Amino acid sequence: MARIRIYQDDAIPSPTKRTWMAFSSNPFALIGLWLLFVLVFVMLFGELLAPFPPELQDPNALLLPPSWDQSGTVTHFFGTDELGRDILSRVLHGTHLTFGLSLIVVVAALIIGFLLGSLSGMMSGIKSSILGHLLDALLSIPSLILAMLVVAVLGAGLENVFWAVGLALVPQFVRAIHQAIHEELQKEYVTAARLDGANSLQIYWYVIMPNVWDIVIIQVTLALSVAVLDIAALGFLNLGAQAPSPEWGAMVMQGTEHFLIAPWTVTIPGVAILITVLAINLVGDGLRSALSPQRN
């Protein structure tokens, strides 16, 4: 039997539903979200979707233009490079090297930065002040410069890029989480919880962290776009992925020698980097707008 409702109660949406409603009302954020879904799909199944192996050379199709050019063919939809390698296949294979590696780097930096930032944020006095000034000094160095310094010590290669970019992103996570927790500790409800008998661990997990997760989420989106740009920049500078790797930054570097006669060898992987960073930033801006009203 259906329940009889005499009074019309207003349905109060949950915080998660309110965030999604605010996020979905932004059409640009939804476009960025769908682009991210496509990137994740290509990252997982790009090797199956690629029509050719990324290093297969065709001497009969050197510097073939894209299919929309009069001299192009549908067989090589995005054209070929100076060695006859299919650019579409290389871009699809390179998705897991640029975007996929960025995801792994950000997750690793998040775990380390979350632990260090939580410990430092719960500190007080001279230790917290010293750590805060140290983080400010590290953040004054651009992440790309810091990553280049690490690569200069460890050596070039895609494996060392993981450590270089990861170490460059850790201070950003530590600083963001440290500052957020330190600000929450000054709130009156934290003092009330402490007077109510809650210990430091209970205050941290049940009182402070529910108000910090949104900052962590926003920081992840910002760090992801930085990681994509840093990995591509290191590949372009020949400090990251080495030829014949289909990493997008390395592809741009390899195509610069023939840019005047074959601009598609540079523009197509460059557009892939642009779309990836744009999608991440659109989602990040959408999350920032959706989460900011809940903090006011």
Residue of 229, 270, 277, 225 lying closest to 87 (CA atoms): 270
Residue of 117, 90, 126 lying closest to 265 (CA atoms): 90
b/e burial code for range 78-104 (CB count within 10 A of at least 16 → b) = bbbbebbbbbbbbbbbbbbbbbbbbbe
Q: Confirm whether 59 is domain-assigned.
A: no
Gap between the terminal Cα atoms of the chain: 43
Q: What is the largest CA-CA distance in the chain?
A: 79
Q: At what angle are helices 126-139 and 87-121 packed, to 10 degrees? A: 160
Q: What is the mean pLDDT of residues 199-227?
A: 88
Residue 95 has pLDDT above 90, yes or no: yes
How distant, in Å, are the alpha carbons of 152, 239, 270, 288 from that of 232?
16, 10, 9, 26
Confidence of residue 214 (pLDDT cuts 50, 70, 90): confident
Q: Poorest-confidence range of 53-57, 202-206, 233-237, 290-294? A: 290-294
Cα–Cα distance measured from residue 230 to residue 250, given in angstroms and rounded to the nearest whole number = 12
Q: Confirm whether 132 is domain-assigned.
A: yes
**Residues ≥6 apart with Cβ < 8 Å to 209:** none
Confidence of residue 61 (pLDDT cuts 50, 70, 90): confident
- DSSP H or E segment with residue 37: helix 27-49
Q: In terms of pLDDT, which residue wins out, 16 or 91? A: 91
Q: What is the pLDDT of residues 112-141, one digit of tens each?
A: 999 988 888 887 767 667 777 777 777 777
Query: Backbone phi, then psi, for 238, in 5-degree steps?
Result: 65, 25
> Which 3 state secondary structure label does DSSP give 13?
coil
**Residues ≥6 apart with Cβ < 8 Å to 18:** 294
The percentage of residues in the chain with a pLDDT greater than 70, rounded to a whole number, is 94
CB 122 within 8 A of CB 190: no
Cα–Cα distance measured from residue 84 to residue 87, given in angstroms and rounded to the nearest whole number = 9
Reading the block at residue 156, the tokens are 């070039």
Q: Confirm whether 52 is domain-assigned.
A: no
Residue 69 has pLDDT above 90, yes or no: no
Reading the block at residue 194, the tokens are 């402490």
Reading the block at residue 260, the tokens are 């005047």
CATH value at residue 32: 1.10.3720.10
Instruction: Give pLDDT, residue 296.
Output: 47
Q: In terms of pLDDT, which residue wins out, 222 or 14? A: 222
Q: Find residue 80's DSSP bridge partners.
A: 86
Instruction: Give pLDDT, residue 89.
Output: 93
Q: Confirm whether 10 is domain-assigned.
A: no
Q: What is the pLDDT of residues 30-39, one digit of tens each?
A: 999 999 999 9
Confidence of residue 294 (pLDDT cuts 50, 70, 90): low
The percentage of residues in the chain with a pLDDT greater than 90, rounded to a whole number, is 38
How distant, in Å, are the alpha carbons of 53, 132, 179 from that of 174?
41, 9, 8
Residue numbers of the domain that contains 275: 25-45+82-290
Residue 9 has pLDDT above 60, yes or no: no
Instruction: Give pLDDT, residue 99.
Output: 94
Instruction: Give pLDDT, residue 10.
Output: 61
Q: Confirm whether 201 is domain-assigned.
A: yes
Q: What is the number of domains present in the chain?
A: 1
Q: What is the mean pLDDT of residues 72-91?
A: 91
Q: Confirm whether 12 is domain-assigned.
A: no
Instruction: Give pLDDT, residue 182.
Output: 84
b/e burial code for range 258-278 (CB count within 10 A of at least 16 → b) = beeebebbbbbbbebbeebbe
Q: What is the pLDDT of residues 146-193, one digit of tens each?
A: 888 888 888 888 888 888 899 889 888 988 898 888 888 888 888 888
Instruction: Give pLDDT, residue 87.
Output: 94
Q: Confirm whether 70 is domain-assigned.
A: no
Residue 15 has pLDDT above 90, yes or no: no
Tokens 């990252």, residue located: 43
> Which 3 state secondary structure label does DSSP give 251?
helix
Confidence of residue 142 (pLDDT cuts 50, 70, 90): confident
> What is the average pLDDT value for the chain, to the nearest integer?
86
Query: Backbone phi, then psi, for 63, in 5-degree steps?
Result: 50, 45
Q: Confirm whether 68 is domain-assigned.
A: no
